[in-house]
Amino acid sequence: MLRTISNTVNNDSIIVKNLKLQSIVGLDAWNARNPQTCLISMTLNTNFKESSATDDLKFSLNYAVLCNDITNLAQSKKEWKSVYAFSNAISSYTMNKYEQVDKLNLDVQLTNAHLRTQNVSFQVGIDRNDKIPASKYMLIKNLDLFTLIGVFNFERLQKQKLSLDIKLPVTDEHSDIPFKTIIDKVVTYTEGANFKTVEALGECIIKLVSQDPFYQDTAFLHSLIEVTVIKHNAITETDGVGISCARSPEEVVSNPTIKLNGTKESSESNGYNMPVDQSTAIATTSTDINTKYNTAYLAFGSNVGDRVSNIKLAFDALKRENEKIVILDQSSFFESEPMYFKDQEPFINGCIKIKTILSPHELLRVCKHIEYEVLGRVKHFDNGPRSIDLDIVLYQNADNEPILINDEDLIIPHPRMLERSFVLEPLCQLLPPTTRHPITAEPIWNHLDELYAKGNDEDNLWLVTPLPGKTLNTKKEKFLKFKTVTVKDPITNLSKRESVSPTYIMHILNVTPDSFSDGGKYYSPENISTTLHHLVQVTQEVLKLHDCIIIDVGGCSTRPNSEQVSEKNELGRVIPIISAIRTCKELPKDKVIISVDTYRSTVSQQAFEAGADIVNDISGGAFDSNMFSQSARIGGGYVLSHTRGTISTMNKLTDYTWKNTDVMEGKYVHYISGKEIDPKNEQLTLITTIGQELSVRFLAALDSGLHRGQMILDPGLGFAKNLDQNLEIIRTIPLLKNYSCVTPDGRFVTFKNLPILLGPSRKKFIGTITMEPEPHNRDFATGSVVASCIGYGTDIVRVHDSINCSKSVKIADKIYKKV
């Protein structure tokens, strides 16, 4: 007897959970028509109140019979075209045979439809009393993926597990849903993405699915696609947290098209498009990559043979690419202990910034050619010794958008850059503090601070200034070496770099008749032996406490208002003594470094030919237009000093107030320790002004071919500074060592890690404080000032009385640098 249909709401249900069947339902995970396990779950809304009251099954639905019927139905056909057809057959059969069922919710799960999940199911919802069509959905559940996602730095460095559920609408007219293609696209997209929020990822997956041709039909314009995203390791006290969102194709159609690596869309853009983090708007598209200049940052390293020569040969090979590669900037050189395989020599590392029309893979091929063909690198094992290593760290297209690549040949950004101080430290000399890592979305400077915060000794590097070392008569390398560490400033709570290496003593040797403190004392062109005898005594005493000594030879007084001698006379004074020092058997060649105190390029060139290692230019290249280019050709160290005006006018140019430095306003962006600061701050006006003016000369030096690895900074005590300003400079050396700026034309300059030289010896401001008019009587006070300079982070002190000051330096190093 047929059951009378009524409008009574029934609250009873018969449940079948995971009825297991073996059947051919479309194609399996291997795209073959093989039987696979199907799990049938049903909830059938009915009324079994009478059966409950009488405890008689005849007034209810016999689920044993139901399960047998469904099993027979499944086996009635050799194969089913699709899960849609199979599910439709079950739902139609059930509603037709069992008229006491008011509502049916059916879930047909395939366990081997796709290799990425064992839970692809089709869901049907039918209400006999409703006139609306049955609801039908494809549900992809527990799709396990690994991707970069999260707001914390540690989440940006390692992929973590996600589970996705995707609910896809289907109609009777559009039933052949390409769920395998959709799964593949979602997997490719998600595992190549880098999001901070699951909210953004969820919506982007809906947009990706909506772009499939299947859902471009107007029939689905208002249908909801639902995505659930669960992060398993976000909160340790839970099994997972996440979001669920539903959007129609109409809602997301106006958004930019998502392009996948390897699809037709990306190949039209040279194959460098990858899923993009919409929450941080990191661009990864590549525009005209082979016709416009792009920017790349390369890390270099060498630990075999003459390391600096290897690096220079590699640079020469890059330059031979002509217009294809142009080196724009170079970091300092840093010496590091081997990181992974310890039993090998230390490395010289650094980074360069280049512009190139080469694609990333073309650039990689050039780098490998230089490594193996030009410099003959032999790779015995990973992370082993090498004559040169050139790695692409970052790559940006012509629009300064970061390019992300992850294939078997190349990964950009470099996957291990964030664990290597020998990459991050030099890289931060080339990048403003605001530059973010394209994956983590955190400033790269912050990553360096976090690396140092771990406190690993191997992360602390030695900055090295290569010296010519011609007179060593050996292939042994010769350097000035400086080591700094990151510490927290207790007042500002900012991280900053401080020197922890022994201070160098630069001994002043004035071979002039008119020096302000010792004029004529060592000026004896006819009797150089007297000068050498003095130098031997000084050197022997200093080397009792220190590993080396720098002798600064000056043949032209630069005291304010002094009369400047001719170039010929200056050459006649300095070249003979430099040659004599280099040939003197009583002066140890490997422990004596020679500096020439001159602002003339011809003097510096001949001084280097005679054996000098460093040029100490008090003008910062301003008095001789050839000084920078000449120093670049010569090599060796270069002391970039701050001054104003000329020898005769500098003492009148001591106004550093804001009104006279308004050139900075609205043009320069100033940073201390990577934090933007206001140069109008009265406490910072002096140091930001000096920093900016040094930056102008610094960039001019770089443009002329000098590189950071050659440069030593001298803020110029006594040159265009009054007493209070000299004292303030000493106090603010930590700020100068941590100063950076961005110029009006967008160029970045940082003095991060560059060594600082100060020359307070016998200066007028010391005499003013101590009321001592005679310069040669200021040596004791000079020792006190030198100790203070070291306490504030000075790396080289230039003094007259080196024997006694060497003792002050030794004590100050023990107190302040703990060396």
**Relative orientation angle of helices 179-191 and 198-210, to the nearest 10 degrees:** 140
Kind and range of the H or E element at 490? none
Q: Of the candidates 621, 639, 815, 648, which has an alpha carbon nearest to the alpha carbon of residue 703?
A: 621
CB 83 within 8 A of CB 26: yes
Structure tokens at 688: 């930001």
Q: Which entry of 102, 389, 597, 813 is annotated as an active-site residue?
A: 389
Could you confirm whether 389 is annotated as catalytic? Answer: yes
Residues for the chain: how many in total?
819
Q: Of the candidates 48, 33, 196, which has an alpha carbon nearest to the alpha carbon of residue 112?
A: 33
Exposed e or buried b per residue across 743-769, where buried means at least 16 C-beta atoms within 10 angstroms of its C-beta: eeeebbbbbbbbbbbbbbbbbbbbbee
Query: Where do we find the tokens 């009251």?
Result: 53
Q: Output the CA angle 464-414-411, nearest 5 degrees.
A: 150
**Strand partners of residue 40:** 19, 108
Q: How far apart are CA 780 and CA 777, in angstroms?
A: 8
CB 618 within 8 A of CB 635: no
Structure tokens at 157: 């460095």
Structure tokens at 195: 């999001």
Q: Which entry of 102, 107, 165, 391 is annotated as an active-site residue?
A: 391
CB 774 within 8 A of CB 512: no
CB 251 within 8 A of CB 234: no
Q: How far apart are CA 138 and CA 169, in angstroms?
A: 6
Report the phi/psi class of residue 107: left, alpha or beta, with left for phi > 0 and alpha for psi in -120 to 50: beta
Could you confirm whether 697 is annotated as catalytic? Answer: no
CB 125 within 8 A of CB 133: no
Instruction: Tell me the backbone φ, ψ of residue 638, rounded to 5 degrees.
Output: -140, 120
Cβ neighbours of residue 31 under 8 Å, at least 6 residues apart? none
Counting other chains too, the contacts that 720-724 makes at CB distance below 8 Å and 24 or more residues apart are 720/642, 720/643, 720/644, 720/645, 720/650, 720/651, 720/653, 720/654, 721/654, 722/654, 722/765, 723/764, 723/765, 723/768, 723/769
Q: Which entry of 156, 386, 644, 778 is annotated as an active-site residue?
A: 386
Q: Which entry of 307, 377, 420, 708 is annotated as an active-site residue?
A: 377
Could you confirm whether 55 is annotated as catalytic? Answer: no
Q: In what order do the strands lie in the sheet with 796-799?
A: 711-714, 637-641, 614-617, 592-597, 549-554, 504-510, 796-799, 757-758
Could you confirm whether 377 is annotated as catalytic? Answer: yes
Q: Of the candidates 683, 757, 685, which has an alpha carbon nearest to the alpha carbon of residue 719?
A: 757
- For 167-217, the three-class secondary structure string (H helix, E strand, C coil) is EEECCCCCCCCCHHHHHHHHHHHHHCCEECCHHHHHHHHHHHHHCCHHHHC
Catalytic residues: 377, 386, 389, 391
